[in-house]
Amino acid sequence: MGLLRFRARRRSPPAMAFPVGKSGAAAVVGASEFDPARSVLARSGGGLERGAAVTGATRLGKYRTDQRGMVLVIVLWIVALLAMMAGGFAYSMRVETRLATSAVERAQARVLAEAGVAYGLAWQLDPEAQKQWPPNGDPREWAFGGGRLRIEVTNASGLVNLNNAGPELLKALLAGAGVDAGDQDRLADAIQDWRDPDDQSMPHGAESADYRAAGWPKPKNANFESVEELGQVLGMTRELQERLASAITVFSYESTVNPELAPARVLRALGLDERTVADYVEARARAAADGSPAPPLPSSEGSSFFFGGRSSVYHIRVVAETDAGTAAILEA
């Protein structure tokens, strides 16, 4: 029998399992997933991505900065617009306040003037009080209601009556107002032609034909109803009418002037010199302070124009001024 010989086989080390399609070296390296090409791409690609990210962030930051700048400009414009609107509103409020204040002050001045008229008239209704305040046009000062008043009370008999004054008195009045001698006769006759009932012209006067030729409305041929009608007399100017207005009336029935009650301006207008008028007005004021009657006029100049009648009509002129300086003038 033959002897069975057992040959011991050398066992080779077990083969390592490699992924299909990869070499062993590659597989060994692949065990750690290392790829040089990918590593290079990863390094280069990462830089590009980071560069792109940085550039995008820069652009985004600049865009946000631009947006903030635009928002700031818009806010500034809105603030400026609001400031302009607020300024305009404040200015309009100041103007309205000033207008309202001015209206209130004018109303206060008007009320003060009305109080002055009532005050002056009250003195004239009391015979005893009238001795101390005769209605001769001399001004009186009065403080009332937080204001100051200047009151002049004149009896109508101390003024020249347009309806009854004769030609000489009218010419003296016109001369005192600065009318030339050549125009005194013309205007005095025109005044008489206006008030007389006929249509016959005075030697230097004017009637309907003259008014028609001059393009003026025809004369009234009746009494004056107001001193403003004097401006409708042919040849009368507005300036002359205004100079005469404070010396004339239509309410008395006198053809002369009472010197005791005539204002200084009327005495001067009727030909008395300044010194005579000043002395007489002063003497008259002293008599009033004592409650005595006014003295007679010392001068005989123009005596035919003066007579001692008295009217029941009074002219009152008041100048009122508030503490704020707003003034009002009232004539009654």
Element (DSSP H or E) covering residue 211: helix 208-214
- Mean pLDDT is lowest, of 13-17, 82-86, 170-174, for 13-17
- Residue 57's pLDDT band (boundaries 50, 70, 90)? low
Among residues 324, 323, 319, 299, the alpha carbon closest in space to that of 110 is found at 319
Residue 36: per-residue pLDDT:
47
More confident: 22 or 309? 309
- Residue 327 makes CB contacts below 8 A (sequence gap 6+) with 109, 319, 320, 321
Report the first-to-last Cα separation within the chain, whole angstroms: 180
Integer angstrom CA distances of residue 75 from 70, 72, 184, 223, 316: 9, 5, 79, 78, 66
Q: What is the CA radius of gyration of the chain?
A: 56
- Mean pLDDT is lowest, of 86-100, 140-154, 189-203, 250-264, for 86-100
- Measured CA to CA, the distance from residue 235 to residue 230 in angstroms comes to 10
Q: What CATH superfamily classification does 162-247 receive?
A: EpsJ-like (1.10.40.60)
Domains of the chain, by residue range, sit at 41-85, 103-159+252-332, 162-247
Let me know: does 275 contact 267? Beta carbons within 8 Å. Answer: no
Mean pLDDT of the chain: 81
Residue 97: per-residue pLDDT:
76
Residue 34: per-residue pLDDT:
45
Residue 31: per-residue pLDDT:
41
Strand pairing class (160-161; 248-249): parallel
- Measured CA to CA, the distance from residue 271 to residue 231 in angstroms comes to 23
What proportion of the chain, given as a percentage, has pLDDT over 70?
A: 78
SS3 193: helix
More confident: 37 or 192? 192
- Beta partners for 152? 317
pLDDT at 6 over 70: no
- Measured CA to CA, the distance from residue 198 to residue 313 in angstroms comes to 29
- Residue 15's pLDDT band (boundaries 50, 70, 90)? very low
Own/partner long-range contacts of 91-97 (Cβ < 8 Å, ≥24 apart): none
Let me know: does 292 contact 283? Beta carbons within 8 Å. Answer: no
Residue 42: per-residue pLDDT:
46
Residue 121: per-residue pLDDT:
92
Half-sphere exposure of 274 (CA within 13 A, CB side): 0
What proportion of the chain, given as a percentage, has pLDDT over 90?
A: 48
Residue 130: per-residue pLDDT:
87
Q: pTM for this one?
A: 0.68
pLDDT tens-digit readout, 115-160? 999 999 999 988 888 888 999 999 999 999 889 999 999 999 999 9
Residue 55: per-residue pLDDT:
55
Residue 300: per-residue pLDDT:
60
pLDDT at 236 over 90: yes
Q: Region 210-214: what's the mean pLDDT?
A: 94
pLDDT tens-digit readout, 267-320? 998 888 899 999 999 999 999 888 888 888 876 655 678 887 888 899 999 999
